[in-house]
Structure 1
């Protein structure tokens, strides 16, 4: 007999699959864009304050 919290529970497997797909299809691209945009903003602001890089 299956217990509600067991790994073989089909409802739990469906929920885990949905969570995995959400993380891989939505959160990873969103976080990647946020990290790159944040880095670009930091570089832009630092150049605005201290000027462009020089030799």
Structure 2
């Protein structure tokens, strides 16, 4: 099979996809994870402040 070269539009498209993937993996997912765990902890903390400590 002959190797086909990519056109300029395809190269730009691949570069944009790589930028989007990098943003999702290195910025979006860690930020959402930290926000999710932090908000869950905050909700539990507020529940304990107003409702008291839950018995085991």
Give the shorter-chain TM-score range: 0.7 to 0.9
**Structure 1 moving runs of 4+ over 3 Å:** none
Compare the two structures and name the one with the higher helix fraction: 2
Q: TM-score, normalised by structure 1?
A: 0.81
Q: How many residue pairs get matched? A: 49
Unaligned residue ranges in structure 1 (runs of 5+):
none
Unaligned residue ranges in structure 2 (runs of 5+):
1-6
Counterpart of 2:55 in 1: which secondary structure? coil
- Residue matched to 1:22: 23
